[in-house]
């Protein structure tokens, strides 16, 4: 399973990368705005800075919503670095753009996926990744994890190469359940990755080991 971090914050990206378990980064316009990044040049420079930290898989989202605009922006984003994956929204022109980029050998991440039908369309168009937003489905009382299960099954039925990238992952149980269901990737904030470390029995067990060692050493 690949771990991506869902942020545009360089410190968080560095911290996750230094842990040695990070496979990529996903960003979106809201996450870029949260870091105060705007304007074409600053946005490009920020994506480059992210690419310089990680080994691969940096999703950079287009802002245009028409086919020509998405192609123009996507090509510019892809030029920043070979690690860039062009992130495209699940809309009609987005599907056409994904097909175009797939033919050009440019990797894509189809974002804002909320149904199995959308995921099927994106796979048929040749998306490298699809991003079902599980937390946002949970927010409105739909089962986000059930959607992951459906998409994984559909892709297995037909052998689609498109990878299921579970997004809007809010907590460690989301991540663990995605792993059980066979999602190829999860993207989540740093705190979710770090949350996997925690267990009270690990803490108390280690405290006991260290205390016993100190006693035996006569400290």
Contact pick of 133, 145, 152, 164 for ligand G3P (by CB under 6 A)? 133
Query: Phi, psi at residue 104, to the nearest 5°?
Result: -85, -5
Q: Does 118 bind ligand G3P (CB under 6 A)?
A: no
Q: Are 76 and 86 in contact (CB under 8 A)?
A: no
Task: Please tell me whether residue 129 binds ligand G3P under the rule CB under 6 A.
Answer: no
Q: Which is nearer to ligand G3P, 104 or 114 (CB)?
A: 114
User: Is 108 among the residues that bind ligand G3P (CB under 6 A)?
Assistant: no
Q: How far is the CB of 192 from ligand G3P (least distance, A)?
A: 10
Bridge pairing between strands 185-188 and 2-6: parallel
User: Residue 8's closest CA among 58, 56, 55?
Assistant: 58
Binding-site size for ligand G3P (CB under 6 A) equals: 10
Q: Is residue 26 within the footprint of ligand G3P (CB under 6 A)?
A: yes
Q: Least separation, in Å, of the C-beta of 139 and ligand G3P? A: 8
Out of 75, 87, 124, 219, the active site residue is 87
Which residue has tokens 């992951």? 148
- Compute the half-sphere exposure of residue 69: CA atoms within 13 Å on the CB side of its CA: 10
The question of whether 87 is a catalytic residue gets the answer: yes
Shortest distance, position 59 Cβ to ligand G3P, whole Å: 8
Confirm if 83 and 106 have CB atoms less than 8 A apart: no
């Amino acid at each position: 399973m690949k771990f991506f971090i869902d942020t545009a914050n360089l410190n968080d990206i560095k911290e996750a990368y230094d842990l040695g378990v990070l496979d990529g980064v996903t960003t979106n316009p809201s996450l870029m705005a949260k870091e105060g990044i705007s304007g074409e040049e600053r946005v490009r420079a920020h994506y480059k800075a992210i690419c310089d930290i990680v080994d691969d898989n940096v999703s950079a989202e287009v802002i245009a919503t028409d086919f020509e605009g998405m192609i123009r922006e996507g090509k510019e984003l892809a030029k920043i670095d070979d690690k860039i994956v062009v992130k495209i929204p699940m809309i009609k022109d987005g599907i056409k753009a994904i097909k175009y980029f797939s033919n050009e050998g440019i990797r894509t991440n189809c974002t804002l996926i909320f149904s199995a039908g959308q995921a099927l369309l994106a796979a048929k168009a040749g998306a490298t990744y699809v991003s079902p937003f599980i937390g946002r489905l949970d927010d409105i009382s739909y089962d986000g994890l059930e959607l992951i299960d459906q998409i994984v099954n559909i892709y297995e039925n037909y052998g689609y190469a498109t990878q299921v990238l579970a997004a809007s992952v809010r907590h460690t149980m989301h991540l663990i359940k995605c792993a059980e269901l066979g999602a190829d990737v999860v993207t989540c904030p740093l705190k979710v990755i770090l949350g996997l470390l925690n267990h009270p029995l690990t803490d108390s067990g280690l405290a006991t080991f260290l205390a016993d060692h100190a006693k035996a050493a006569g400290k």
